[in-house]
Structure 1
Amino acid sequence: MTGPGFRPTHVVPPQGMPAWAAPDPSGAAVPLDALLPVQLVDRRGDWGRIVCANGWSAWVDGRLLVAVPKDPPTADAPLGHTPDPRPLLARAESALARYRTAVEDLADGGLDGEAFRQRTRGLRIGVVVDGSDVWLYDDEEGRWVYGDGTGLSTYAADAGPRAAAPPARAPTRSVVPEGER
Structure 2
Amino acid sequence: MNAVPSPYDAAPDVPGFEPTHVVPKDGLSTWAAPDTSVPTEPMDPLLPVRLLTRRGDWGQVLCSNGWAAWVDARLLVTLPESPPPAGAPMARTADARRLLARVEETLGRYREAVEELAAGRMDGETFQRTTHGLRIGAVVEGEAVWLYDAEHDRWCYCDGTTMTTFAAPEPAPQSLPPEPAPSSVPPEPTRLDSPASGPPPTRLGDA
TM-score, normalised with respect to structure 2 = 0.46
| 1:116 alignment partner in structure 2 | 127
Match of 1:80 among 75, 89, 96: 89
Query: What's the C-alpha RMSD, in Å, of the aligned pairs?
Result: 2.9
1:31-70 alignment, distance < 5 Å = 43-46=25-28, 63-68=75-80, 70=81
1:12-31 alignment, distance < 5 Å = none
| 2:109 alignment partner in structure 1 | 98
Match of 1:154 among 147, 150, 165: 165
Letter in 2 for 1:78: G
Structure 2 CA distance for aligned equivalents of residues 109 and 103 of structure 1: 10
Q: 1:116 to 1:110 in 2, by over 3 A?
A: same
Is residue 2:142 matched to residue 1:131? yes
Letter in 2 for 1:65: V
| 2:185 alignment partner in structure 1 | none
Secondary structure at 2:113 match in 1: helix
TM-score, normalised with respect to structure 1 = 0.52
- Aligned-pair identity (%): 46
Measure how far apart 1:127 and its partner are: 0.6
Is the contact between residue 106 and residue 116 of structure 1 (CA under 8 Å) also seen in structure 2?
yes
1:47-94 Cα shifts (integer Å, max 9, x gaps)? 66xxxxxxxxxxxx88433334x41135xx124312111101111111
Measure how far apart 1:96 and its partner are: 0.5
Gaps of 5+ in 1: 1-39, 49-60, 161-174
Q: How many residues in Structure 1 have an aligned counterpart in Structure 2?
A: 110
Measure how far apart 1:153 and its partner are: 1.6
Higher relative contact order structure (alpha carbons within 8 Å, sequence separation ≥ 6): 2
| 1:57 alignment partner in structure 2 | none
Whichever of the two has the greater Rg, that structure is 2
Gaps of 5+ in 2: 1-21, 29-44, 47-72, 177-207
Is the contact between residue 155 and residue 166 of structure 2 (CA under 8 Å) also seen in structure 1?
yes
Measure how far apart 1:158 and its partner are: 3.0
Measure how far apart 1:131 and its partner are: 0.8
Give 1 or 2: higher strand fraction.
1
| 2:19 alignment partner in structure 1 | none
Is the contact between residue 142 and residue 159 of structure 1 (CA under 8 Å) also seen in structure 2?
no
Q: 1:156 to 1:65 in 2, by over 3 A?
A: farther
Structure 2 CA distance for aligned equivalents of residues 119 and 84 of structure 1: 29
Structure 1 segments, 4+ long, off by >4 Å, are none
